[in-house]
Amino acid sequence: MKKEVLEVVSETIFRMGEFLRKEGFIELLPVIISPLTDPLNHSVNEAKIPYEDGFYHLTKSMIFHKQLALRTYPKIFIFSPNVRLETKDKKHTGRHLIEFTQLDLEVKDATREDILTLVENLIIYTMEKLHEKFKDFIEKKNPNFHIPKRPFERIKYLEAKNLYGEDFEAILSKKATEPFFLIDIPIEEREFYDRLSEDGKTLVDMDLIYPYSFQEGMSGGERENELERIIFRMKAKNMDPNEWQWYLDEVKKSIPRSAGCGIGIERFVRFVLNLPNIKDTKLFAKLPGEISL
């Protein structure tokens, strides 16, 4: 492991936090265990800790805690450690770790477009600051490095899929030289909490896709915050609302309307430094399908 890689990770965390503070955000401490965590849209091995008469989940994402935190403060971020015990078929993707950190942020009363603009500015600011500090190292590691142009292209998910088929994300990422957003993702591809569009089929959400085959590095959207809509969405996912009492009790007390996203720190650094594998971004990397220090 090159010590410069660790310095780039450290500077990334510093500069992203600095950018968000200047934008009026405050940083919250992460939640590591809770009876409530993100169900995700794909299955992973359970990470549950029995405790007293119940159990805790390890955090898969802080999505629900972000929504609840907005009752107290309107613009928040967390460098949130997530544990997702991915199945071992993901061992060789080069882009999955079972323990990773996302910069999770959420803004009360924001629209998707507000978050897209914020993310463009955050990514560009951080890349500029990294380049100022690590010019020689970055240019040596990454001959493709350049500061992206604003605005990032917005591409509709279904239009891309129709044009390029099932593998559209990989194909588009390989062709691209600039990051872009995939928007309007179909309801069946996502969790229940991203907001349903008027069309009843797609969501007011997005992924950020890095170019040069680095693929997805951020996802988010506008959120559902009304009880009936949330129950409708849970049922559409064949989820049993009775198993979500922790969340639904809070929704009944009311949670604010919001939008936000999570940006994978290791994926961002991998993209900036053109690293072959995500495990090259950290000292104690844990790949799917193995036990590591």
**Which of 207, 262, 269, 287 touches ligand ASN by CB under 6 A?**
262
182 binds ligand ASN (CB under 6 A): no
The least CB distance from residue 85 to ligand ASN, in Å, is 15
The least CB distance from residue 261 to ligand ASN, in Å, is 5
Shortest CA distance to 209 belongs to which of 291, 293, 119, 287? Answer: 119
Span of 25-33, 133-141, 242-250, 257-265 interacting with ligand ASN by CB under 6 A: 257-265
Do 214 and 173 meet the contact criterion of CB atoms below 8 Å apart?
yes
The least CB distance from residue 53 to ligand ASN, in Å, is 29
The least CB distance from residue 105 to ligand ASN, in Å, is 8
217 binds ligand ASN (CB under 6 A): no
The least CB distance from residue 257 to ligand ASN, in Å, is 15
Q: Which is nearer to ligand ASN, 97 or 261 (CB)?
A: 261
SS3 293: coil
The least CB distance from residue 270 to ligand ASN, in Å, is 17
The least CB distance from residue 219 to ligand ASN, in Å, is 5
**Which of 39, 211, 217, 260 touches ligand ASN by CB under 6 A?**
260
Span of 17-25, 130-138, 206-214, 254-262 interacting with ligand ASN by CB under 6 A: 254-262
Name the strand (E) or helix (H) holding 122.
helix 112-141
Do 225 and 198 meet the contact criterion of CB atoms below 8 Å apart?
no
Report the distance separating Cα 37 and Cα 198, nearest Å.
27
| Tokens standing for residue 99 | 């323990």
99 binds ligand ASN (CB under 6 A): no
104 binds ligand ASN (CB under 6 A): yes
Angle CA 268–217–283, to nearest 5: 45
**Which of 38, 86, 120, 224 touches ligand ASN by CB under 6 A?**
38
Report the distance separating Cα 210 and Cα 44, nearest Å.
24
Please work out the total of residues on this chain that contact ligand ASN, with binding judged by CB under 6 A.
Answer: 10
Site string for ligand ASN, 68-97 (x = CB under 6 A): ------------------------------
101 binds ligand ASN (CB under 6 A): no
Strand-pair category, 54-58 with 180-183: unpaired
Report the distance separating Cα 214 and Cα 275, nearest Å.
10
220 binds ligand ASN (CB under 6 A): yes
Name the strand (E) or helix (H) holding 82.
strand 75-83
Q: Which long-range contacts (CB under 8 A, 24 or more apart) does 24-30 make?
A: 24/75, 25/75, 25/76, 25/77, 25/105, 26/73, 26/75, 26/76, 26/77, 27/76, 27/77, 27/78, 27/79, 28/69, 28/76, 28/77, 28/78, 29/78, 30/59, 30/62, 30/78, 30/79, 30/80, 30/81
261 binds ligand ASN (CB under 6 A): yes
Span of 89-97, 206-214, 247-255, 258-266 interacting with ligand ASN by CB under 6 A: 258-266
Name the strand (E) or helix (H) holding 221.
strand 215-222
Residues near ligand ASN (CB under 6 A) are 38, 61, 63, 102, 104, 219-220, 260-262
